[in-house]
Amino acid sequence: MTAVPDRYEAGWWSCSYIVAPVAEPPSLPALRTILFEIKGTETGWPVWLSLEGRPGMRAYVAGNAIECWLRDTDSADFWRADPRGRMFLLRRLQEDTDFRDVSPGTFLDLILPVWRTGECLLHAGRLAARLGADSVDMTMSWHGLAGRELRALAGSNRMLMPGRVCNNSEISTIVTASAAEIQETLPELVKTLVAPLYAEFGFFEPPDELYTSELHRMRTGIP
C-alpha cells in the first residue's frame, strides 16, 4: 500500500484479529474464495470488502498474504488477510465522509462504533468456523478523536446531551472470545470493546439496551 496521509488525516478506525488455532492454513486462492463467501450482509459496505469489478480495487497477493486498498472510495479501506488467521482492516471514520453539513474531525457518532465493531466480530466468527479455529482475539482502535463531540446523527432517534468532547487522540481495546459463542454473546463482546471509547467522552456510559437494540437493527435491518 502506498500511503496517502490526507485520506486518513481527520481520523480513522482499525480492527485486527487472530483466529486460532489454524491447523491447515488455506492457499491464497482458497483464502480469497473464503473471504468472498463469508462477506457480511449486515450493512451496505461490508468489512474486508473487495470491489472486483473496479480496476485498481481488487484484492492482490502481497508476500504470504492478501491485501486490498479501496483508495478511490470515501472509506479508503485498506485490509490484509493472512492464511494463518491474522486479519487487519483500516478505514476512514464514516463521520468525516457521510455527513456533508458537518465538518470532518468534529464528531463521533453514538451508533456507528457499535455497528462496525459488531460487523468485525461476526466476520471473525465466520472465518473461525471456516478455518476450524476455536478462539478470536480482537483489537479495535480509533484515532483522531481529540476535540470530537459525541453525537447521535447516523439514522438514530436517540437523544444525547451536547458537550461530551474527547480530549485524547486515540484509544485501543481488546477482547478474547470463543468463536462459537460470538453469535450469542455479541452485545456483551461489543460492549467490552466500545464502552472504553464512550468513556473518553465525558465518562459517557450508555445503557446495555443500546448495544442489544442497535446490533439487532444492524443484523435484521429492522428500524
pLDDT in tens, 27-46: 999 999 999 999 999 998 99
- Whether residue 205 has pLDDT greater than 60: yes
Angle at 219 between CA 216 and CA 223, to 5 degrees: 60
- The reported pLDDT for the residue numbered 222 is 64
Count Cβ atoms within 10 A of the Cβ of residue 2 and give its class: 0-12 exposed, 13-18 middle, 19 or more buried. exposed
Where are the chain's structural domains? 12-93+103-218
pLDDT in tens, 37-93: 999 999 989 999 998 877 767 899 999 999 999 988 889 999 999 999 999 999 999
- Whether residue 192 has pLDDT greater than 80: yes
- The reported pLDDT for the residue numbered 223 is 54
- The reported pLDDT for the residue numbered 54 is 74
- The answer to whether the CB of 28 falls within 8 A of the CB of 19 is no
- The reported pLDDT for the residue numbered 2 is 46
- The answer to whether the CB of 88 falls within 8 A of the CB of 14 is yes
Grid cell for residue 194: 466500545
The residues facing 139 across adjacent strands are: 16, 174
Grid cell for residue 3: 500511503
- The reported pLDDT for the residue numbered 96 is 93
Whether residue 196 is preceded by a cis peptide bond, meaning omega within 30 degrees of 0, is: no
pLDDT in tens, 113-155: 999 999 999 999 999 999 999 999 999 999 999 999 999 998 6
- The answer to whether the CB of 59 falls within 8 A of the CB of 50 is yes
Nearest to 10 by CA among 194, 150, 148, 140: 148
Grid cell for residue 118: 459488531
- Whether residue 26 has pLDDT greater than 90: yes
DSSP strand pairing (86-92 vs 12-20):
antiparallel
